[in-house]
Structure 1
Amino acid sequence: MLEQTRDVFAHLIQPILFMYLAASYIPSTISLLLSPLQLNILLSPSAFKEIWFARFWSVYGPELQKNTSPAVGPLLQHVHGIVLDIGPGSGEWLPLFPANRISKIYGVEPNKDHHAALRRKIRECGLEGVYEIVPVGIEDLEEGGWIKEGRVDSVVTLFCLCSIPRPREMVARLYGLLGDGGVWVLYEHVRVKEGRWVGWYQSVMNLFWPYFLGGCELRRDTGRWVKEVGPWSQVELVQPANEPEYQVVPHIKGVLVK
């Protein structure tokens, strides 16, 4: 009983510790922008948060990849053909992509502060000429001529749908870009199921979480939105088996086939 109580407490305190970890990068980010003085960024909350989060994620992203690659790696083996890699950040997942089955990857990353690290990872993985960084959001892919409706073979969303604007609209746009028989590989955190006390706690945490984690939202019903966006020939989405019912940041993972 005591051991379970400790485990529950560890899960409840985890989001607070994670926000504290993110906040610890604020002083060094300010120092970075003071020399040379970059007032245009320091006086712009949105620009500052992008740089702050990019610096934090450049350290934490690889740790996340290391901890979850045993679950994500097998999912990525379904990826093939023309790929939309949504929110690749610093490219921590690229080593797990099956390069021999891919003809083109469009990395949709509007945060330019991630691009330098992403380019380095592209070179390390030998994907130059295959991986192209797209510096716009999902809403601009068609209008910018990057990709046409129904021309994508694979969509990859790993820990990114939590922070995109207008998520239900963007999910619908991605579904439209995916061709018949195309696959959508997904690993995301989602809202706690209704009726659980931890859902109340998750709602409280979500009052603060987006301000510390680059606009990320804890309470998005991503799994339901993706499943209901249109007809699928195959849906395999599950919660990781090692997550207890009191998980404050639960996840779903799996593959959908259009």
Structure 2
Amino acid sequence: MFDKTRDVAQYIIDPIMFLALVGCYGIKTFFSLLIHFQFGTLFSVSKFKYVWFARFWAVYGPQLAQGPGRDRVKLLIPEVTGVVLDIGPGTGEWLELLDSSKLTKVYGVEPNADHYARLREHIKEAGLADIYEIIPAGVEDLSKYGIELESVDTILTLQCLCSVPNQRQMIRDLYQYLKPNGGKWVLYEHVVTKQKGIIAMYQATIDLVWPHFLGGCSITRNTEKNLREAGEWSKIDLKQPAEEPIYHMVPHVGGVLVK
């Protein structure tokens, strides 16, 4: 009983401790910009948040890719084949898991230019330099880069749908790029809790601060619902990891949807 109470308490405290860690990077970013006289960025809230998150993610992103989610993602990676839209790859922490022998072309859709230097390094390290192309834009501009509707074999989203603007519409737009009769959406995302009452209230309270600290990321998005309703699917296999307790404040869902 004592161990379970301690476990619950840890899950309650973890989001607060995580925000405190991110906050420390915010302070470091502030003084770094001040010392280097980058006042244009320093006194623009949006630009400051952009740089703050990029600097934090450059350190934390690789750690996240080595965490509990790594084994879950590895089980999904064999489904990533053909022409791929890699949405929000960030600095490319997951790229080493891809099997280049199963890939024809990969478009990394990443609008944050602060990630590009490290992303290019990871592309090379993963042996994908010949087939991986960075798309420096959002989903709404994919057609400008020659990517046609119903031309993509696989859409890959790994913990990125939490921060995209107008998530529901973006998911519907991306659905249109999948090939009919077999196009796959492979994902591992954190989502809104399915629990009610105090757990949902606590998660919603944390989310009042979370997006401001983490580049617009929200932990209360109903991503699974939006994916299920994006269009007609011939197969849906989405699950919350069995090892995650019901009181997890940042629960995940992973799996594959087939058009």
* TM-score greater than 0.5 by the shorter chain: yes
Post-superposition shift, 1:129? 2.4
Q: TM-score, normalised by structure 2?
A: 0.96
- Check conservation: 2:84, 2:156, Cα contact below 8 A: yes
2-structure distance, mates of 1:145, 1:92: 24
Query: In structure 1, what is the equivalent of residue 83 of structure 2?
Result: 82
- How many residue pairs get aligned? The number is 257
Structure 1 residue 47 corresponds to structure 2 residue 47: yes
- 1:196 Cα deviation after fit: 4.2
In structure 2, give the amino acid aligned to 1:230: G
Residue 96 of structure 2 aligns with which residue? 95
Cα distance between partner residues in 2 of 1:207 and 1:145: 36
Partner of 2:137: 136
1:196-241 deviation digits (Å, cap 9, x = unpaired): 4301110111111111111111111100110111111111000001
Q: Secondary structure at the match of 2:106?
A: strand
Letter of the structure 2 residue corresponding to residue 51 of structure 1: V
* Matching residue of 1:60: 60
Gaps of 5+ in 1: none
Q: CA deviation at 1:27?
A: 2.6
**C-alpha separation in 2, matches of 1:176 and 1:156:** 14
Write the distance in 2 (CA, Å) between the matches of 1:147 and 1:120: 24
- SS for the counterpart of 1:152 is coil
Shift >2 Å, 4+ stretches: 30-36, 194-197
Give TM-score, length-normalised by structure 1. 0.97
Distance 2:22 2:161 in 1: 19
CA shift for structure 1 position 29: 1.5
Tell me which residue corresponds to 1:111: 112
Offset, 1:104: 0.8
Correspondence list, 1:1-258, <5 A: 1-67=1-67, 68-142=69-143, 144-180=144-180, 181-258=182-259
**Alpha-carbon shift at residue 33 of structure 1 (Å):** 2.2
Aligned-pair CA distance for 1:31: 3.2
1:172-207 deviation line (CA, Å, top 9, x unaligned): 011001112111111111111152430111011111
146-155 or 30-39, larger mean C-alpha shift: 30-39
Q: RMSD of aligned C-alpha atoms?
A: 1.1
Cα distance in 2, alignment partners of residues 194 and 244 from structure 1 = 11
In structure 2, C-alpha distance between the alignment counterparts of 1:36 and 1:211, rounded to whole Å = 24
Matched residues in 2 for 1:244 and 1:26: separation? 31
CA distance in 2, matches of 1:32, 1:80: 42
